[in-house]
Structure 1
Amino acid sequence: MSHASVMALALLLDAAFGEPRWLWSRLPHPAVLIGRAIGFLDQRLNRESRSAAQRKALGMLTVVILCAAALAVGHLLAGFGGLVEALCAAVLLAQRSLAEHLRDVTRALRLSAGEGRRMVARIVGRDTKDMDAPAVARAAIESGAENFSDGVLAPLFWGLIGGLPLMLLYKAVNTADSMIGYRTARHGDFGWAAARFDDLLNLIPARLSALMIALWHRQGGQWGEIALEARAHRSPNAGWPEAAMARALGVALSGPRSYHGQMQDFAYVNAAGARDIGPAQIEAEIAVLWRIWAMGLAAALALAALGAAV
């Protein structure tokens, strides 16, 4: 099977089955295994007694080890055939689980702002205890846009290029960034390579996700505004799908929020959009994400057909 055929099947498998609890309650999820490997390397190599330069070099070595292991395991599993490769690739996609998480926030927010805060805390890193209902909705929508790019389109993009090995490499680097890619005293140097490589791997997928959202919603004429706000975002990549999604839904995203008890005065994305938002807007985003997913599936099927015809 071609890479495109494998990815098309993986997309369908993920959409149909998502993350089956009966399986991952018995076996460790690949993300858990990757996380354990990163934690092991962090404990062994990232020691306070070492200089900043040493920790940065060892962080680079950590990324090299993770990438080499991911490529090796990916090639090994792909050797069992296209069906096994597609099953493994489906595990690395997060479309259905993302939609389910967002739907959980929607249901909770319909009960109360407090329930919404409790549920959205599972998918965002900001402080949630003082959020009102619109802030909960904004947080969920922002998380949905960013995680679609990181958890669906980026692995699909790299899978179309290099199959399961590149998907696993992307997943390893993305997980490393989420664990050690922070500008803290412990990880500012050691996690530098993971953060920068993750930025690089998401460079094209983030912009592609924004373009797909904009094209579907006929926002080509607003691409200049989307690009301007995306470039001003605190993240080099997250701002792209966020800015496009804000316009697709007609809402204002980002804005002031708290991290670790400190308020951050971030500018609004699509400031002219609606700010008094709630469950309806989260549901609208879920619909958008499935439409863009369908575009990705269509692209994979088209590439598979093209490859078969050549």
Structure 2
Amino acid sequence: MTMSTDLAQALTPSANWALAVLIALLIDRVWGEPPVRWHPVVGMGAFLGWAGRWAAPQGGQHDTRHGVAFAKGALAWCCGALVTGGLSVALAWAVCLLPGWGQALVLGCLLKPMLAWRMLHDEVSEVESALGRSLPAGRLRLARLVSRDVAALDAGQVRESAIETLAENLNDSVVAPLFWFAVAGLPGAALYRFANTADAMWGYRGDRQGRDWTWAGKWAARADDVLSWVPARITAVLLALQGGADAWKLLPEQARQTPSPNSGWPMAAMALVLGVRLGKPGVYVLNPAGRLATSAHLGQALQLASRAVLAVAAIAILCLLPGLGRAFE
């Protein structure tokens, strides 16, 4: 029997998971996102768009049937989560039927769409490139990333918003999917991605795109809060570790300044490590004594996030490494 055959037979499920993390990140770096027609997150979005039109009442009608809207939103979310979980469990079971290396390779390919680090990095980088051409170009590019009104933002505020988006989505697009993959395999990562997509589309107070999401989106928003609670704090720690003692000292207080129980943690950590002020006008200010964000700060933020991605990948692999270590004995 050859060494490669011995190794393939020695690979345990946890070893395949560890190798899948490496494969998924490699695919992400080399090829980026899969085609839209094959992207599972696009499929999740299509379902959520259809279900949202059923669950959320028309905006501006002052519908008082809050309980009905909440129940319909919760039911639609649960149906989508059940389908997502069921399909991912079936795929994970099918992967287990493959021989050794095939399991890790296919699992990595299936995990990749749950991650979007290259796309996040490139989109944030393009904001600075667009600002180099003109302020309106920078605003237009930022509008692809955020839901807030960007028309009145100056160059510093555009960079602030880009850095905030980078920090928040570092958790949503990388850390949290890897955390849940390490905890519950492909079903964990897929269910998190569904919950996060639902929150992005439904988790609003008031009217959005002609629908009132105040109650219809409440279940989706709370589900994402629960699933993101631990990963958001891991993300903040990975960023704060790259700063000094002041970042650690001020982080808890600053993280509580945002309405969200989770997004404030990575954003506050990024603001403190960079020494910049981040904020949303009329809502919150993080590190108010910090400097105005410059082009250099945006570049540094991308470097901090890149190191955090490497760190969380290493942690996920180490958590799964016992099985991988046995494969090489």
TM-score under structure 2 normalisation? 0.84
Map 1:236-255 → 2, pairs under 5 A: 236-255=261-280
> Structure 1: where are the runs of 5+ without partners?
257-264
CA distance in 2, matches of 1:90, 1:29: 10
Which residue pairs with 2:132 in the alignment?
110
Which residue pairs with 1:64 in the alignment?
78
CA distance in 1, matches of 2:131, 2:113: 29
Which residue pairs with 2:249 in the alignment?
224
Which residue pairs with 1:266 in the alignment?
283
Q: Larger deviation: 143-152 or 246-255? A: 246-255
Residue 156 of structure 1 pairs with residue 156 of structure 2: no
Do the aligned residues in 2 keep the contact of 1:110 with 1:279 (CA within 8 Å)? no
- Structure 1 or 2, whichever has the larger Rg, is 2
Residue 76 of structure 1 pairs with residue 90 of structure 2: yes
Secondary structure of 2:291's aligned partner: coil
Do the aligned residues in 1 keep the contact of 2:41 with 2:113 (CA within 8 Å)? no
CA distance in 2, matches of 1:40, 1:119: 27
Which residue pairs with 2:160 in the alignment?
138
Which residue pairs with 1:284 in the alignment?
300
Which residue pairs with 2:187 in the alignment?
165
> Structure 2: where are the runs of 5+ without partners?
1-12, 96-102
Map 1:39-54 → 2, pairs under 5 A: 39-47=49-57, 51-54=65-68
Do the aligned residues in 2 keep the contact of 1:226 with 1:244 (CA within 8 Å)? yes
Runs of 4+ more than 6 Å apart: none
Q: Larger deviation: 179-188 or 125-134? A: 179-188
Size of the aligned set, in residue pairs, is 296
Which residue pairs with 1:214 in the alignment?
240
Which residue pairs with 1:96 in the alignment?
118
Q: Larger deviation: 282-291 or 223-232? A: 223-232
Q: CA deviation at 1:255?
A: 4.6
Q: Deviations over 1:30-57 (max 9, x none)?
A: 2221111112222234456892212211
Counterparts in 2 of 1:305 and 1:234: CA distance versus 1, 3 Å: same
Specify which of 218, 221, 234 is matched with residue 259 of structure 2.
234
Q: CA deviation at 1:304?
A: 3.1
Do the aligned residues in 1 keep the contact of 2:247 with 2:273 (CA within 8 Å)? no
Q: CA deviation at 1:136?
A: 0.7
RMSD, aligned CA: 1.9
Do the aligned residues in 2 keep the contact of 1:93 with 1:151 (CA within 8 Å)? yes
Specify which of 171, 174, 196 is matched with residue 222 of structure 2.
196
TM-score under structure 1 normalisation? 0.89
Do the aligned residues in 2 keep the contact of 1:94 with 1:151 (CA within 8 Å)? yes
Do the aligned residues in 1 keep the contact of 2:178 with 2:313 (CA within 8 Å)? no
Partner amino acid, structure 1, of 2:242: W
Q: Deviations over 1:264-301 (max 9, x none)?
A: x23421112111x3322111111111101110121123
Q: CA deviation at 1:303?
A: 2.4
Which residue pairs with 2:314 in the alignment?
298
Do the aligned residues in 2 keep the contact of 1:117 with 1:128 (CA within 8 Å)? yes
Residue 31 of structure 1 pairs with residue 48 of structure 2: no
